[in-house]
Structure 1
Amino acid sequence: MQPPHRRLLLLLLYVLLSGTWADLEEAFTVRLLQTTTFQNTSFVETEGLGMLEDIELGSLDKHNWAIRFYQPWVRPALPRSDWETIDNMIKIYLRKFHHLINEGAMQKDVPYPFVAQCTAGCELYPNRTSRAFAYVGYNGQDFLSFNVDNATWLLSQDTDLSRYVQAVLQNYTAFSELVDFLFNDTCVDDMELLLHYGKAALERQVPPVATVFARTPSPAQLLLVCRVTGFYPRPINVAWLRDGQEVPPGPELNTSAILPNADLTYQLRSVLAVAPQDGHSYACRVRHRSLGSRSLLIPWGNTDVVLIAGLGAGLLAAVSLAAIVVLWVWRRRKHEQLESESRNSILSNEA
């Protein structure tokens, strides 16, 4: 039988790491994020967040450390009694964490305020393998990382403080057991529930909307801008085509990072620098999961090209219309001629 504190630790992560392996066709990443700000020895604030891929599952209220659910399908994963146990376990863990860090800061004369960050999680793959990770940060810099193979904490920076925290974490039994569950049990055995409940959210697809426009920072340079927005999930491929051929990476091509929108979709921009009136045709090509095997292709041309294309299309339309009119007139006259000949033939017979 598992010790009570081991069972509580398992419950703490149970809902945050779950899904259906039969439906798993790609890798998924779960992250548990903790940010604790130590203003002084008596004033400490902690914020926590649980994420499945880019979906925010829930957070901790920094005032009372209560869990706030962001997705309606997270809360039903466990009964109320289990959630009450998890609430208690979170409070026990954070009180211990605050005490240990404050104690170390005083022993090593660490100046206040400072920020401690913890990230733990795992990636799971369709072949049922997993890669776990855990990191500790200090004031926004890498501080410690966890070596999964031998279950030891490694220094990211060698200081008196980092060596002290390394020793504390190595001897912090409750935290070590939490990491042990995360690495050896939870990622594989307890992931099914969350993936099952979050299946619809994970499979959500929103197609991108793309526009192309130009800017002229100088008379000798033209910037073609392809703005792609409103897409989900995050992975996307945006490329510029010159005369139908993909433009390779280079100094004239600049693509932004993928940025979030307020509606839980994403956006990016790809900018291509060209010489005005260089005689080439350009188009922005967008590939995304929501489009299936299709691609969005948004062409652009400078004024001359657009004008020529417009005249060509207009001339073609005019010629087509003229041909239709001529054909209609010819058929009308032919019909009238046949009717006239038919009447003349009838009159001649009657005479």
Structure 2
Amino acid sequence: MKSPCCCLLSFLLYLFLFSWTWANPEGTFTIRLLQTTTFQNTSFVHTEGLGLLEDIELGSLDKHTWSIHFYQPWVCPALPQSDWDTIDNLLKIYLQQFSHLINEGAMQRDVPYPFVAQCMAGCELYPNRTSRTFAYVGYNGQDFLSFDTENASWTLSQDTNLSRYVWSVLQNYTTLSELVEVLFNDTCVDDMEVLLNYGRAALERQELPVATVFARIPSLDQLLLVCHVTGFYPRPISVAWLRDGHEVPPGPVLNTSTILPNADLTYQLRSILAVAPHDGHSYVCRVRHRSLGNRSLLIPWGNSEVMLITGLMTGLLAAMAIAAVSVLWVCRQRKHQQMAESESRNSILSKQA
């Protein structure tokens, strides 16, 4: 029976066989396998898993059967069913032994339950076709162990009884570096030509960014210019503010958010520039993205917008004033008319008397 470490590595590199060939040969691409295992007690263990190629979700782990659910239609056809069966078996063996290893260490080192173990492992491919593997283990949200790919050894991220125990177990598997060398230098390269076209369309997908510029006025002496960019894919993007045609450097007046995901598998961000109202400068939000090619998306903002809003407000207030004066005049006219009619009736009644 294989060690848990070797089983995990085999599973990672089987996935790597078809993931790295989907990538754009001109860039660097990464596949990551994420595992979260919750140890409620010695007899109840809950495991979740997710596979990612860049930001594309390849599949997840069924927490009840430990089987793989594919999210992309091009994942399963990339390998013969016999290979997927092998991966499925290796995955189950690894998860069983992983749970046993951690539980055994927790009981021997009096680690309190419940606790959570997290693993992230995968492979990275560079444009020159060289590659590296990585593996990180976390405990209750903190770094625990990491894998040193150059020396093919595990490194302690925190020095505890449990981490030293797990480190000593993993460190004894000396076949790790040999397995990495064979699979990366031979198997992956040999299968690259066959698997190159799988998933290419998903990785090369491009969505144009949509940008809008508007202003906020938090105080009378400050104006916040907001450039909201959304709907773009892939994730890398460049957003900058130009003042009179020159890029505004990073500083306290410039605040750009992190790139956030949208529900439709695109991304969004905001860049906010603080300026003084009516400072006499022109401002443009510039967006650069792969989908735009060599072009840039330029969205200008000018003080004319504020002047327009101010003009509209002034016009509205003037109209309201005119309406108020008109209503007052009509009321007075009606009052004078009523008084005249009353005096006329009183005069008629006095003559009749």
TM-score range with shorter-chain normalisation?
0.7 to 0.9
Give, in angstroms, the shift of residue 151 of structure 1: 1.0
Q: Which moved more, 1:83-92 or 1:197-206?
A: 83-92
Q: Which moved more, 1:90-99 or 1:17-26?
A: 17-26
Paired residues for 1:176-187 under 5 Å: none
Quickly say closer, same or farther: Cα 1:7–1:242, change in 2 above 3 A. Answer: closer
Paired residue secondary structure (1:162):
helix
Separation of aligned partners in 2, 1:79 and 1:304: 61
Give, in angstroms, the shift of residue 84 of structure 1: 2.1
Separation of aligned partners in 1, 2:65 and 2:172: 28
Quickly say closer, same or farther: Cα 1:146–1:22, change in 2 above 3 A. Answer: closer
Paired residues for 1:135-284 under 5 Å: 135-172=136-173, 188-189=189-190, 195-284=196-285
Quickly say closer, same or farther: Cα 1:186–1:138, change in 2 above 3 A. Answer: farther
Q: Deviations along 1:296-344, whole A, 9 cap, x unmatched?
A: 100111247765xx9xxxxxxxxxxxxxxxxxxxxxxxxxxxxxxxxxx
Q: Does the 8 A contact of 1:169 with 1:175 survive in 2?
A: no
Give, in angstroms, the shift of residue 12 of structure 1: 6.4
| Counterpart code for 1:143 | F
Give, in angstroms, the shift of residue 34 of structure 1: 1.1
| Counterpart code for 2:225 | L
* RMSD, aligned CA: 2.8
| Counterpart code for 2:154 | W
Separation of aligned partners in 1, 2:113 and 2:178: 30
1:123: which partner in 2? Answer: 124
Give, in angstroms, the shift of residue 60 of structure 1: 0.5
Q: Does the 8 A contact of 2:12 with 2:121 survive in 1?
A: no
| Counterpart code for 1:14 | Y
Q: Does the 8 A contact of 2:221 with 2:277 survive in 1?
A: yes
Give, in angstroms, the shift of residue 196 of structure 1: 2.2
Q: Deviations along 1:151-171, whole A, 9 cap, x unmatched?
A: 110011112211111112223
Separation of aligned partners in 1, 2:185 and 2:101: 26
Q: Which moved more, 1:181-190 or 1:254-263?
A: 181-190
Separation of aligned partners in 1, 2:137 and 2:161: 15
Q: Deviations along 1:16-46, whole A, 9 cap, x unmatched?
A: 4325499611111111111111111111111
Quickly say closer, same or farther: Cα 1:225–1:114, change in 2 above 3 A. Answer: same
Separation of aligned partners in 1, 2:175 and 2:37: 18
Separation of aligned partners in 2, 1:106 and 1:178: 31
Paired residue secondary structure (2:226):
strand
2:17: which partner in 1? Answer: 17
Separation of aligned partners in 2, 1:198 and 1:113: 40
| Counterpart code for 1:17 | L
Separation of aligned partners in 2, 1:13 and 1:286: 38
Separation of aligned partners in 2, 1:261 and 1:41: 39
1:100: which partner in 2? Answer: 101
Paired residue secondary structure (2:32):
strand
Separation of aligned partners in 1, 2:49 and 2:179: 16
Quickly say closer, same or farther: Cα 1:78–1:14, change in 2 above 3 A. Answer: same
Separation of aligned partners in 2, 1:269 and 1:204: 23
TM-score, length-scaled by structure 2: 0.79
Separation of aligned partners in 2, 1:206 and 1:302: 31
Q: Does the 8 A contact of 2:256 with 2:270 survive in 1?
A: yes
Give, in angstroms, the shift of residue 10 of structure 1: 4.6
Quickly say closer, same or farther: Cα 1:191–1:159, change in 2 above 3 A. Answer: farther
Q: Which moved more, 1:169-178 or 1:109-118?
A: 169-178
Separation of aligned partners in 1, 2:10 and 2:114: 33
